[in-house]
Amino acid sequence: MIPLTKRVDVQQAAEDLHRHTLAGMGRPLDRLIYLASTRDYNNGLYYHDGLASLYGQEAACQALADCHHVAFRQLVRCSLRDLVSQMEEYIASSNANPRELLASWKKLEPYRVAVPLQSDSLSAELLFSNLKVALAIVEDQLDRRPEGRAA
């Protein structure tokens, strides 16, 4: 069990993260990808120098993990329509060629490593399935556009 003082630090770190970083990311998909990028895939720990310097590494790690799990739950609960919209907006906001990004996501399935470690497998598989469908829809819509650009 985490001591109460640590939980306060974790809460403060999470609020700081939300206020300064996550609030600028309107889509759960963006937050999920960003938060996953702060995790070391070799040990599962999250790192954020700014948060760690203010609240300590342990509190920063837990705050990032907590926020990652929240973003994951939000994304799992999204309708397919909303997920398609988030994918379109994510693609449009990236500097990548939309067709290349779609091809990479379909082949590499990077979203599989973006789920939090504590996620239950049923929720993760539901998200993976929904993302595959969303990618197919976005690709179909892209094929129907004259310039082949994301919305």
Return per-residue pLDDT of the chain as tens, 151 residues.
444 445 889 999 999 999 999 999 989 999 999 999 999 999 999 999 999 999 999 999 999 999 999 999 999 999 999 999 999 999 999 999 999 999 999 999 999 999 999 899 999 999 999 999 999 999 999 888 766 455 5
Of 37, 38, 39, 35, the C-alpha closest to 18 is: 35
At 8, which amino acid appears? V
Asked whether the beta carbons of 9 and 55 are under 8 A apart, the reply is: yes
* Contact predicate 138/87, CB 8 Å: yes
pLDDT of residue 105: 94
Question: What's residue 58's pLDDT?
Answer: 94
The token duo for 46 is 């999250």
| 46: β partners | 39
> Domain spans of the chain?
4-76, 80-144
pLDDT at 140: 94
Q: Coil, strand, or helix at residue 46?
A: strand
CA dihedral 94, 95, 98, 104 (to 10 degrees): -80
Q: How high is the pLDDT of residue 1? A: 43
d(CA 35, CA 32): 5
In the 8-state DSSP scheme, what is residue 144? H
pLDDT at 78: 96
pTM: 0.87
Task: Please report the pLDDT score of residue 49 as a whole number.
Answer: 95
Helices 121-144 & 57-76 angle (0-180, nearest 10): 60
